[in-house]
Amino acid sequence: MKRNRRVAVIAGIGLVMIMLGAIAGAWWWHQDPGAGSAAASAHAPAPGARPAGPERNDRGELGPARVLVDDDPRGTLRLEGQVIDADDHGVAGATVVIAANPPRTATTEADGGFAFDGLIGRTYAVVARGATGTAGPVTVQLTRASDPIVLRLRPAGALTVTVVGTTGAPIAGATVELRGLDVQRAVVVGPAAVIRPVIPGNYQIAAWADGMAHAFTRIHLDARDAEARLVLGSGAPVSGKVVDDQGTGVAGARVRYSGASDLRVQASDRFDAQVTAADGSFAFDALPAGSFRLLATHPERAPGTSPLVTLDGKTAKTGVVIAMAIGATVHGHVVDSRRQPVPGARVRIGAAGGLPALDTPRQAASDAQGGFEIRGLPRKPLSAVALHESGSSPSVALDASGGDIAELTLTLELTGMISGRVVDPKGAPIEGAQVAAGPVFGAGGPLAGSGSGGNGFDPAQWRLRGLPEASSDASGQFQLTGLAPGAYRVSAAPARAQSLGQALGPRFGRGRADTPDSATAQTGDRNVVLVVAPDGGIKGTVAFADGTVPALFSASTPAAQQTFGGGDGGFALDGLAPGTYELELRGTSFQTRAVEITIEPAKTTDAGTITVVKGRAIAGTVVADGQPVAGATVYAGRTILGNGSTTATQLSAATAAITAANKSTTTDAAGAFSMSGFGDGDITLVAEQDAIGRSRALRLPAVMPGQTELTLSLEKFGALHGTLHQGGQPADGVLVTCQSTSTPGAVFTVLAGADGAYRFDRLAPDTYKVSATLGTIRTGMRFYAKQAEVPSSQDIALDLSVDAGAITLNVTATASGGVGLALVWLASAAITATTESELALKLAAAGPGAYQRTIARGGMTAMTSVAPGAYSLCVTPLPLAIQGTAAIGYMDAHGDALPAFCQPVTVAPAPDAQSAQIAVQVPSVITDPPGGAGSPGAGSGH
């Protein structure tokens, strides 16, 4: 059985590059949560109400990408079901929510029965909430022959939300809203607001109070009790106008705000948006300090975005203008292979090619005659696809640059199918299991094309189409339809699985992809058997060598995490799919430890006593103007990742993997802090206090003396802004990174808007390498960098330009015995280095220019879009035994000791394809002592 490992990018080297795939995913995570996780404001309608217009989907629609979903046409289908308790008794008065567009809610009758009428034939997610627990989400493919569904309530946890002001005092009467497929509200009474029961899943939490700006955070909830804390700050009025091409006000547009410097601040189109008046005017009562873009949508117009608006949270802002161009309308029909109309098909239209971060696909459903109409599309090259239970269409390229497209026919000619059964280990059928198909990353995978992200996989196609999913029936049968030819990884999860990600395994969330309940299948396979074994668990004890136990620690697998403390060092995790995992133990007082654990069906594995090492300690004082600062937060780790406003940012699961071993603490009344449990190698330290400022990032080598007598000095924040251009035009949706030139482990990232503008609201005074960043981790990253000095209390302007070339440089690293995994840099600067640590420092300090970063496999890779000129080619080979995700832990533990090899390379103006060869020496594997960070179980296996 293969090992289930956390899928992440390699941490500890080339820090700017390795975080960027995570940031791209984070943008989707932090976009408007839409109806499924909708926000609320003082002017909001009651939960369940929804204004007209397209809505961003986050409520069970298939696929990992967000989609703007138009309202469903009224259909002719009916979904019936029953909510039951653990004893199979019907539950009266339960709330049932179905992920229609808009979402609909029903209350169960005396026997637990419920029904939804007027639905169209498509896939829906359904959840339930009653006094004794929650159920779902259950996914159902609704057809005229669909059976009623059963939702069984299981025990669920409560969410306690503390809402405080900037002084830390609770704000009584504040409103808290939990936004997911199910939306619940509560009011702070006493110290907190309590919401119970809560359906497990991903949510946005919003809080607000009179005269204060909204606060938002994201949270993942399971069946256990959870807590969250939100801080409300001051807000100030913001007003403006939405206009057309002639400057005339646009009535009926919906305006919301989106954090530009801090992606975590995302208002909802459903509840937070303001609707423009007859003259196009709009107004918000209280927006917080920070930089924002105001986004407008309208049924007849392409989406509009304001210029960057920077607020102080105290002074009213007026005169904000959002221009909306006339949008394109696409009319058409969906037909089957016999040219007959297909009602209830999902038609999706999105930007053509790539994964532009600011373009979101639109979706509408075909009517009874197969017709559809999507209005307000951007006038640019687009791609369209139709999806239905009977098949799907190939993607069709559209050019809406010139306006409307009158007749588009989407033919459901992709009718590939994978079917089979979901059973338990004894062969008994499992009803309601969630079955999903994910891409196989390789030339044999489906939907390969010219836009492929490596090995034939085309991410743009998956973004538009989503991931196929179905639910098993009473006999355990499932059927995935509309598949393109190719190989798929088909996975199953029990009905209680809380999301699509749980069915797809560690790449998408739960950790079941390498267990017997998954299989690789080809389109056309009809007898796929997925065995879903009962979940198991882990228990054990964490202790130091002297028998004492940590005061506080967390235990986690790719599927679960929980914090423990105040006891005998014991821990327990349940609800884990059978398989072999890495159990990770983290704490502020010991070095991160990872051990391999095998979970057996319906059993709790006893891991025994796991010994952890106190490791390296650091301590010191945080000061400002020479005076100690109480309540400052100190962050420490190999890689510190922040956004344009704060170091305290958790962007996504991928960035969590990068920063898994990071630690943080708060200074005491004397400004003192201390942390331990660090391994050898460089540590980056940053201290921050919102009301005062931030310290310059400090690089702390392992051999530096005085590591328990540090002084971190807070300085007032500086700011940095500018515009990106590519080919003379604003560069849309490009990532911008800010990296300290002296401490490469501190990286801050924002996203440029449609006008190419970007802004970092808060940076420590320092010298930064500022880069416009393109590409992906799979295909390679390209950086176009300048250097900037950001003084305290000053706002610096710095424009960036993407100057891509047209040459492909094929690189081959050679060594006796061959080369396995290697890290390759191409830099337009004279760089020499003998270790990876030295290379990282010199790359950060190198001046303006173009840089590329790829991962070579078998010693070979290609650098694309290279301009002619002189470069340094640098390669860091890993030991041959270190492959795949094993590099994560190994690089974190031994990146400082890995050898690097550099040589000058000249790229000529021609030909278009050129080659470079570099000789390297592949190092041997460094063996760690038991319990070390890079020891087996910490990422050193296959």
Give 27-70 pLDDT, tens digit per residue: 333 333 333 322 222 222 232 333 333 333 433 332 333 677 77
Q: Cβ(215)–Cβ(206) under 8 Å?
A: yes
Please state, in angstroms and rounded to a whole number, the distance separating the CA atoms of residues 183 and 35: 9
Cis amide bond preceding 911, omega within 30 = yes
Please state, in angstroms and rounded to a whole number, the distance separating the CA atoms of residues 352 and 330: 15
Q: How many CB atoms lie within 10 A of CB 528?
A: 22
119-128, 511-520, 569-578: lowest mean pLDDT where?
511-520
Please state, rounded to an integer, the average pLDDT across all residues of the chain.
Answer: 82
Please state, in angstroms and rounded to a whole number, the distance separating the CA atoms of residues 843 and 13: 11
Please state, in angstroms and rounded to a whole number, the distance separating the CA atoms of residues 114 and 774: 50
- DSSP structural state of residue 18: H
Q: What are 352-376's pLDDT values in tens digits?
A: 764 444 567 888 989 889 999 999 8
Q: Which residue has the tokens 């390699």?
A: 10
Element (H, E) at 702: none
Q: Which residue has the tokens 């420490």?
A: 636
pLDDT the model gives residue 552: 82
Structure tokens at 90: 């019907």
Closest CA to 691 of 666, 719, 718, 716: 716
Q: How many CB atoms lie within 10 A of CB 294?
A: 25
Mean pLDDT of 534-549: 91
pLDDT the model gives residue 778: 61
pLDDT the model gives residue 660: 63
Q: How many CA atoms lie within 13 A of 764 on its CB side?
A: 27
| Separation in Å, CA 72 to CA 121, 347, 362, 363 | 11, 11, 13, 10
70-103 burial, b at 16+ Cβ within 10 Å, e below that, comes to bebbebebebebbbbbeeeeebeebbbbbbbbbb
pTM for the whole structure: 0.80
**Do β-strands 201-208 and 175-179 pair in parallel, antiparallel, or remain unpaired?**
antiparallel
Please state, in angstroms and rounded to a whole number, the distance separating the CA atoms of residues 146 and 127: 17
Q: What are 385-417's pLDDT values in tens digits?
A: 998 888 889 889 999 998 899 889 999 998 889
pLDDT the model gives residue 102: 84
Three-state secondary structure readout of 470-496: EECCCCCEEEEEEECCCEEEEEEECCC
pLDDT the model gives residue 54: 38
Please state, in angstroms and rounded to a whole number, the distance separating the CA atoms of residues 532 and 524: 22
Query: What is the pLDDT confidence band of residue 777, given thresholds at 50, 70 and 90?
Result: low
pLDDT of 11 above 60: no
Q: Cβ(619)–Cβ(712) under 8 Å?
A: no
pLDDT of 542 above 80: yes
Q: What are phi and psi of 843, to 5 degrees?
A: -65, -40
Please state, in angstroms and rounded to a whole number, the distance separating the CA atoms of residues 670 and 678: 24
Give the type of residue at 455.
N
Q: What are phi and psi of 465, to 5 degrees?
A: -85, -30
Please state, in angstroms and rounded to a whole number, the distance separating the CA atoms of residues 635 and 588: 11
Please state, in angstroms and rounded to a whole number, the distance separating the CA atoms of residues 864 and 62: 33
Q: E-strand spans in 299-327?
A: 301-305, 309-311, 317-323
pLDDT the model gives residue 928: 60
pLDDT the model gives residue 930: 52
- DSSP structural state of residue 895: G
- Vertex 880 angle, CA 874 and 883, to 5°: 90
Please state, in angstroms and rounded to a whole number, the distance separating the CA atoms of residues 102 and 125: 13
Q: Cβ(384)–Cβ(492) under 8 Å?
A: no
Query: What is the pLDDT confidence band of residue 940, given thresholds at 50, 70 and 90?
Result: very low
* Helical ranges in 97-173 per DSSP H: none
Rg value, the chain, Cα: 27
**Portion of the chain with pLDDT greater than 70, in percent:** 83
Q: How many residues does the chain have?
A: 942
pLDDT of 905 above 90: yes
